Amino acid sequence: MTTNEQPVGELHNPVMLRRSLDLLAPALALPGATVVDCTLGMGGHSEALLHTFPSAHLIALDRDPDALRLAGERLKPYGDRATLVHAVYDELPEVLARLEVPRVQGVLFDLGVSSLQLDEAGRGFAYAQDAPLDMRMDQTTGISAAEVLNTYAPGELVRILRTYGEEKQAKRIVEAVVREREKEPFRNSARLVELIRDALPQAAKRTGGNPAKRTFQALRIEVNGELAVLERALPAAVDALAVGGRIAVLSYHSLEDRLVKQVFAAGSHNTAPPGLPVVPEQYQPRLKLLTRGAELPTEEEIAENRRAAPARLRAAKRIREATT
């Protein structure tokens, strides 16, 4: 069944939903609380937030106009309790300023590619089906994955595959890409998948699932600037939290999770110079960690929703205002 045939409410099975709600609950149960869903997607988490916390107001961001349209239909019953904004999540400070919301009580990130983007064949995110090599989360702007493959210098392509895809065979894959693009530019995903299969040694094909997975991840991250956006967005989200406010982040690969871990760790430690007998207020931690390391989905959830398998959930609470 294509996404056009499915009821909107069935389009997205939110990952680690109950645990995310539980972590945010103490802050969102307050009257007049505002929660930001920085990654609206199909609206599954947003709908659950509005339903679970009936006095809360939701601000939801997404860069994908299709997601905003479909999730808007899903959230219509909640009326003006939901404000949907076409924006990338590193634009959170500007969005809150425009809406005249100085502080929020909750922030949720569900990172990576959305179910809508994976399931729509024409978007080119999925290596399992042939489609134009697009991979833009917002198809109204930016360069496509095909343009990256066809125009980037070989050394830059190697860097992207190694850094964003953690692909050990990056040089071998890029050499094949450069040979092939000279014959004919890349346009569709099936040709790239076939090239990767042919380029990899047998041993590399036997581990880690589909051999194209890491290359597609790397291209998607490059096309959408995902790690650079996240690097800006996480500190901005922490800054937006009121004291007592909570942030929960679901990530799906080690690069995202590492950034979340670093931001939360930095906020949860004091920044005083070593040797001070008493730590002054301005050096005290701003955050308290709410998860021990990254929490994982249960086996039951993975059985019900295979896309939950790589998920890692971290959460923190704002415990102090920033001081200068």
Total number of domains in the chain = 2
Give the pLDDT confidence score for residue 7 in this predicted structure: 36
Residue 175 in domain: yes
Q: Which residue, among 184, 188, 170, has the nearest Cα to 126 in the 3D structure? A: 188
The residue-averaged pLDDT of 232-252 equals 97
Q: Name the phi and psi angles at 20, rounded to 5.
A: -60, -45
Average pLDDT over residues 171-178: 96
Please tell me the predicted confidence (pLDDT) of residue 269. 84
Instruction: Indicate whether 105 and 243 sit together in one domain.
Output: yes
**Residues sharing a CB contact under 8 Å with residue 51, sequence separation 6 or more, in sequence order:** none
Same domain, yes or no: 130 and 255: no
Q: What is the pLDDT of residues 55-74, one digit of tens each?
A: 999 999 999 898 899 999 99
Average pLDDT, the chain: 88
Mean pLDDT, range 274-284, rounded to an integer: 71
pLDDT digits (tens, 9 = 90+) for 74-89: 999 999 999 999 999 9
In a domain, 266, yes or no: yes
Flag whether 1 is in a domain: no
- Is there a domain that residue 66 lies in? yes
Are residues 93 and 102 in contact, defined by beta-carbon separation less than 8 angstroms?
Answer: no
State yes or no: pLDDT of 184 exceeds 70.
yes
Per-residue model confidence as pLDDT tens digits over 157-171: 999 999 999 999 999
Do 112 and 233 reside in the same domain of the chain? Answer: yes
Task: Please give the C-alpha separations between residue 90 and each of 77, 96, 206, 232, 233, in angstroms, as whole numbers.
Answer: 28, 11, 38, 6, 4
* Domain termination site, one of 223, 252, 274: 223
In this predicted structure, the answer to whether residue 26 has a pLDDT above a threshold of 60 is: yes
User: Are residues 135 and 104 both part of a single domain?
Assistant: no
Among 169, 192, 223, give the residue marking a domain's end.
223
CATH number at residue 40: 3.40.50.150
Residue 324 lies in a domain: no
Residues 187 and 311 in one domain: no
The mean pLDDT of 270-285, rounded to a whole number, is 72
Would residue 3 count as lying in a domain?
A: no
> In terms of DSSP bridges, do strands 312-318 and 82-86 run parallel, antiparallel, or are they unpaired?
unpaired
Per residue in 95-147, pLDDT (tens digit) is 999 999 999 999 999 997 665 555 565 555 666 778 899 999 888 888 999 99
Q: What is the DSSP letter of 58?
A: E
Whether 217 and 264 share a structural domain:
no
In the β-sheet with 104-110, what is the strand arrangement from edge to edge?
82-86, 57-62, 34-37, 104-110, 241-251, 312-318, 287-289
Q: Are residues 128 and 253 in the same domain?
A: no
246 with 110, same domain: the answer is yes
- pLDDT score recorded for residue 10: 41
- What is the predicted pLDDT for the residue at 324? 53
Phi first, then psi, for residue 250 (nearest 5°) are -100, 120
Residues 6+ apart with CB under 8 A from 42: 8, 11, 12, 67, 70, 71, 74, 114, 115, 116
Binding annotation: 43-45, 62, 89, 110, 117
Bigger pLDDT: 106 vs 269: 106
Say which CATH number the domain at 199 has.
Answer: 1.10.150.170
Predicted model pTM: 0.87
Residue 314's pLDDT band (cuts 50, 70, 90) = very high
Last residue of a domain, one of 176, 201, 223: 223
Would 303 be classed as within a structural domain?
yes
74 and 165 inside one domain: no
Looking at the structure, tell me whether residues 165 and 306 fall in a common domain.
Answer: no
Domain range spanning residue 204?
A: 123-223
Give 132's DSSP letter: B
| 62 and 109 assigned to the same domain | yes
Residues 305 and 250 in one domain: yes
- Asked whether the beta carbons of 28 and 100 are under 8 A apart, the reply is no
Alpha-carbon span 211 to 198, nearest angstrom? 10
Could you list the residues known to form a binding site for S-adenosyl-L-methionine, using ranges: 43-45, 62, 89, 110, 117
Question: Is 174 part of a structural domain of the chain?
Answer: yes
